[in-house]
Amino acid sequence: MNYYSLHHKSPISTFKNAVVQGLAKDRGIYFPETITPLSEDFIKNIGNYSNQEIAFEVIKQFVGDEIPSNILKEIIKETVSFDFPLVKVDDNIASLELFHGPTMAFKDVGAKFMAKCLEYFNKGNDSEVTVLVATSGDTGGAVANGFLGAKGVNVVILYPSGKVSDIQEKQLTTLGQNITALEVDGVFDDCQEMVKTAFLDEEIQKTLTSANSINVARWLPQMFYFFFAYKELQKENKDLIFSVPSGNFGNICAGIMAQKLGLPIKHFVASTNVNNTVPNYLIDGVYKPKPSIATISNAMDVGNPSNFIRIQELFNNDLETLKKAFSSYSFSDDETRATMKAIYNNSGYISDPHGAVGYLGLQKHNLQENEFGVFLETAHPVKFLDVVEETLPVKVEIPEQIKKVINNKKVAIKASSYQDLKNFLMN
């Protein structure tokens, strides 16, 4: 499989080069040259396959022959080694829980897959590669865990000071070994801009790759759980509507990729907090990135989502075609808290702020009688403990995955500018 830059000014790339480079030389993100739908027979009989078998069928065309099938199957085995349950919260709405992995966030899937691919590609290479990643919350912990101890790979995580939850911060600042955290004086967009600038810096770019969802190996595996959900929902025999809490828009873009592969999803809703760049674009047709605003759903605090250009590409940059299959709505913190309460009062289900925003998207869509809605619960409520326990009359039990890090000592390096990052990388 070959990949091209969405800025169209860089040479065609292999899967390996796209993973190792992360970002094309023209600063564009990579996109697959072809998308071949899976067989109708496979989709129809998906219930006969295990999650590992489904994941292999979904991803193999995008890897091609660059990773042998037996190795790719082992990578997948480690990537989807936990459950992805659907929990009904209403007659026609279910939560797709993506937080049963090691860091209790949906990004465990992409982070582990990418880590194992990069480790395979770097095998036998004497030089080390530095994985550079910006995080608004959950990406950092997932990448840190996924790459922990990976041979020949150093990980540098940039996160906005004071704008991630305490547990999220512990997950990315306490592991040590080959993981280093840089605490940035700014917002997520500042972190992301520093990462992108580093990729253009000729003095350091040859040793860098990205583990944000701009990297194809982080982005594409997110297709898996849309297939897993469909496997469970076939019996509903209804049109499926997926509402995805969206920040950098990699997750919902992967869902649309799953649709292009033949998964019968009727409509996608990109549910955002007050960082409403994409909802505004769908209204006036003008894409206007802006500085991000801090909210209680901090993993979505993104003012210039990197993956939206991929979504545009999937719809041939035709806004009207996009709007037929894709909606996007913005919600405030007050609406989010009220919805967390409503979900809990109606069903006893504890949602985190991001899941509540996803649920709001389904409400805004106004499900019809023949439609079944799924909102993605992207992180365990414990990741946002203060918000959840302030909003709901509950005491959230601390899972074992969190107990392992919650009392560890934070170690982070302060950074206030790109030069601080460059100095660290050079030294």
**DSSP code of residue 51:** H
Residue 171 dihedral angles phi and psi, to the nearest 5°? -65, -25
Q: Count Cβ atoms below 10 Å from residue 66 Cβ, excluding itself.
A: 16
Rg, C-alpha atoms of the chain = 20
Burial label, 130 (beta-carbon count in 10 A; 0-12, 13-18, 19+): middle
Helix (H) or strand (E) holding 269: strand 265-272
The strand ranges marked E within 50-164 are 86-90, 93-97, 129-134, 153-160
Residue pair 117/136 in contact by the 8 Å Cβ criterion: no
Measured CA distances, 28 to 5, 22, 35, 134, 140 (Å): 5, 10, 19, 17, 22
- What's the pLDDT score for residue 20? 87
Q: Count Cβ atoms below 10 Å from residue 369 Cβ, excluding itself.
A: 6
123 classed as catalytic:
no
Distance CA 242, CA 96 (A): 10
Running along the chain, 427 residues long, what does each successive block of 10 average in pLDDT?
96 94 88 98 97 98 97 96 96 96 90 90 79 82 85 89 87 89 91 86 77 89 98 94 96 97 98 97 94 90 93 96 97 98 97 97 95 96 92 92 85 93 89
Residue 184 dihedral angles phi and psi, to the nearest 5°? -95, 135
Cα torsion 205, 157, 306, 67: sign: positive
Q: Which domains does the chain have, with CATH numbers?
A: 83-104+219-397 (3.40.50.1100)
- What's the pLDDT score for residue 205? 65
Q: Which of 343, 351, 349 is nearest to 388 (CA)?
A: 351
- What's the pLDDT score for residue 412? 93
Distance CA 405, CA 403 (A): 6
Q: Which of 216, 213, 179 is nearest to 195 (CA)?
A: 213
- What's the pLDDT score for residue 214? 85
- What's the pLDDT score for residue 32? 98
**Beta 413-415 vs 129-134: how paired, if at all?**
unpaired
Q: Kindly name the residue from 25, 44, 73, 107 that is annotated as catalytic.
A: 107
- What's the pLDDT score for residue 123? 81
- What's the pLDDT score for residue 282? 96
